[in-house]
Amino acid sequence: MGSSLNPCYTDPVSNLTLAIDDETLKRARIRALEQGTSVNAVVREYLEIYAGIDRRGVLGDLVDLADSVESGADGSGRSWRRDDLYDS
């Protein structure tokens, strides 16, 4: 793996070649596209997490909290009505 500067990064990055079967890569590309990302970004994030590097910080924690069903963020745990927000 050689190290080179990539204009998207402030630090040197290395290129990595992976051997992945065509069908897996095709499905990964489709899923990444549906999620508005790339296979490269997904693999990079996975490797950072695997290596113990979590660059998401507080913002990532908030996104995780908002995505969790237990947080009630989906509205299912709401017990108030819109009219309750206004004084009578």
Task: Classify residue 35: in a domain, yes or no.
Answer: yes
Task: Classify residue 39: in a domain, yes or no.
Answer: yes
Task: Classify residue 83: in a domain, yes or no.
Answer: no
The answer for residues whose C-beta is within 8 angstroms of residue 41's C-beta and 6 or more apart is 32
For position 29, what pLDDT does the model report?
95
pLDDT in tens, 8-49: 666 788 898 999 999 999 999 999 999 999 999 999 888 888
Task: Classify residue 56: in a domain, yes or no.
Answer: yes
Higher pLDDT, 85 or 40: 40
Number of domains in the chain: 1
pLDDT in tens, 50-75: 888 777 666 677 777 766 645 455 55
> 59 is in which domain, residue-wise?
3-69
Task: Classify residue 85: in a domain, yes or no.
Answer: no
What's the 3-state SS for the chain? CCEECCCCCCCCEECCCCCCCHHHHHHHHHHHHHCCCCHHHHHHHHHHHHCCCCCCHHHHHHHHHHHCHHHCCCCCCCCCCHHHHCCC
Higher pLDDT, 29 or 2: 29
Task: Classify residue 57: in a domain, yes or no.
Answer: yes
